[in-house]
Amino acid sequence: MKSARKIGLFGFGTVGKGFYENLKKHPHLPVSIEKVCVKRLDLPRIGHELYFTDNPDELLSDPELDIIIELIDDAEAAKYYVEQALLAGKDVISANKKMIGESLQDVDNWHQSFGSHFLYEAAVGGGIPIVHSVDGFFRDQEVKEIRGILNGSSNYILTQMQRNNWAFEKALSEAQAKGFAERNPVLDVSGIDASYKLSILAYHAFGEISSIKSFEIESIEGVTKEVIKRAKAKGRKVKLVATLKKTGHEIVCSVKPENISPNDELYSVDFENNAVSVETLISGRHVFVGKGAGALPTGSAVLEDLKRLLDGYSYQVSKRVKTVA
- Residues designated as active site: 197
Angle at 136 between CA 106 and CA 279, to 5 degrees: 100
For residue 89, the surrounding DSSP H or E stretch is none
Q: For residue 126, which amino acid is it?
A: G
| Count, residues in the chain | 325
d(CA 157, CA 221): 10
For residue 101, the surrounding DSSP H or E stretch is helix 97-102
d(CA 38, CA 53): 6
d(CA 267, CA 233): 15
List, as one string, the DSSP characters of 107-170. HHHHHHH-SS-EE-GGGSSTT--HHHIIIIITTTS-EEEEEEE--HHHHHHHHHHHHH---HHH
DSSP 3-state of 297: helix
Q: Is 268 left (phi over 0), alpha (psi -120 to 50) or beta?
A: alpha
Contact partners, residue 211, CB within 8 Å, separation at least 6: 199, 324, 325
